[in-house]
Structure 1
Amino acid sequence: MINLKSILLNATLVATAALPLAAAALFTSAGSAQAAALTGEFSFDGGKSKTQIGNPFVKSLVTLKKDSLTFTPDSIIQDSNGVKSTPVAVAAQTGSFLGFNSASIRDIISFANNTVQNPFLDLGNLPSDGDILPGDDTASLADGINIFTLTSSGYQITQTGANITIAVNLLGYFTSATGEITNGAGSLSFQRNNTTVAQAISILDTADGSLANLTFSGSTFTTSVPEPAALLGLGAVGGVMAMSRRRKGVVQ
């Protein structure tokens, strides 16, 4: 097994910035906050899309270069900032994820430069799981609501008989429609037939070399949920800090 690349992404700053928001929510009950958080798990694989009626469906595929991971086609879904993404079908949902049948997935721009397009997954719904037809409303897949933000990732290549398997680990956090954050993790995998690990490394080390247009599948799950006691404790600390600031203001 060859561990080729790993990254630590700047999205962790988003999680840190969210801490004041958690403190600001102290006046809500811990039970309601926990209920609003995304919890559970789901699997996903490449969806399909077509730009015109009568055209064949185009399957969502993945391409790996030495320092990047991209998905195609990315011309159907586009958010308000013009960032494009690729449809995936969501299956085997549990918990809060039962309400979604599709998602959009964005590129890991660069393993080398610690950058990624976030949200990495944007959960929503389509008339048919993961399939986009002309005229379908894709807004829920590009609204920045119910998302998985990627904070670190890496990939490994292993030999499985005459084929290779590329496994991409995913670490990050889910943000619900109400802004509740839960830690999350998962994996993404794809295969290339009749190839050895040495051959794959040689291809990736070549300028513009890639393992291209491969089908993929993956899964993600929540790894921790805010505890009511922790939220209440945070509330107590926030209240003490606020009182302390007010008292200092009176003295001064």
Structure 2
Amino acid sequence: MVISKSNFLKGAVAALATVPVVAAGVFTSAGAAQAAQLVGEFSFSSDPTVSATLTSNSVSFVAPKTFTINQSLSTGNFTGFTSGTINNITSFSTNTIVNPFLTLLGGALSGSTFIANTASYDIRQAAPNLVAIDITTIGTFKNALTNEESDGEGVLTLQTGGRGLTAFDVETLLTGGGSVSTTFSGFYFGTPRVSTPEPATMLGLGLVGVGVAMSRRRKTVA
């Protein structure tokens, strides 16, 4: 079988010409997917009428369970949110959480949520006469417009104080069936979630491979 050099060059050029187009499509899709994920960080504090009540195995919030976001500290996709609501953790021991744990409001992505999968807390001596309770939750942020998901994590901090109050005093109170009620603040962040390439992306990569293989085969035959 004889293939003219002219025809081979035309075929090779045509095959190579498709590579940048396909590759561009791959990179564009990946970039768009990541842009739709909630990535960045934000801080918030409870509204004046809202407080949290912590027991040894749960935390609940007074209705309307609202908080205000400090926009000057927000980054990434979280910059448009201005406020939100928070839900209860009914059992730390079994990770029983009322989800969505956080609902973010304001801006173009209003209604986006944080779904908590695990929750735990630590009690520490923040300063003399001041005890902090840090509640850590790990889960998923979900974009309200695109349903894209990103990995999320955050800390909710409750503080209580009194003359001579220690972390041990608070631990003893909770263990004995008591509770702590106070205001709260929080810091949360989202990081990109790596996903499996979509079928269209895999097809594009396959076309690149086919084009290169055909080019090599034609060169060998010639």
TM-score (norm. length: structure 1):
0.61
Distance 1:89 1:113 in 2: 29
- Indicate conservation of the 8 Å contact 1:68/1:110, yes or no: yes
Match of 2:172 in 1: 202
1:29-77, Cα deviation, whole Å (9 max, x unpaired) = 22222221111110011024xxxxxxxxxx21111100001111x2x4x
Distance 2:166 2:91 in 1: 24
Match of 2:53 in 1: 63
The AA in structure 2 aligned to 1:102 is S
Match of 1:168 in 2: 135
- Indicate conservation of the 8 Å contact 1:87/1:104, yes or no: yes
Shift, 1:225, TM fit: 4.1
Match of 1:90 in 2: 69
Distance 1:36 1:112 in 2: 34
- Indicate conservation of the 8 Å contact 2:95/2:119, yes or no: no
- 1:101-140 maps to which residues of 2 (within 5 A)? 101-125=82-106
SS in 2 for 1:231: coil
Which contiguous aligned blocks of 4+ residues in structure 1 show a shift greater than 4 angstroms? 232-235
Gaps of at least 5 residues in structure 2 are: 1-25, 207-222
1:178-219, Cα deviation, whole Å (9 max, x unpaired) = 111110111111211122222212211223x1012x111111
Match of 1:191 in 2: 159
Distance 1:37 1:165 in 2: 32
With over 3 angstroms needed to count, the CA separation of the structure-2 counterparts of 1:179 and 1:202, relative to structure 1, is same
SS in 1 for 2:197: helix
SS in 1 for 2:116: strand
The AA in structure 2 aligned to 1:101 is T
With over 3 angstroms needed to count, the CA separation of the structure-2 counterparts of 1:99 and 1:158, relative to structure 1, is same
- Indicate conservation of the 8 Å contact 2:42/2:69, yes or no: yes
- Indicate conservation of the 8 Å contact 2:123/2:167, yes or no: yes
Relative to its length, the structure with more helix (as a share) is 2
With over 3 angstroms needed to count, the CA separation of the structure-2 counterparts of 1:40 and 1:234, relative to structure 1, is farther
TM-score (norm. length: structure 2):
0.69
Match of 2:32 in 1: 32
Distance 2:161 2:133 in 1: 11
Q: Does 1:222 align with 2:190?
A: yes
% same residue: 34
SS in 2 for 1:104: strand
- Indicate conservation of the 8 Å contact 1:118/1:150, yes or no: yes
Shift, 1:105, TM fit: 0.5
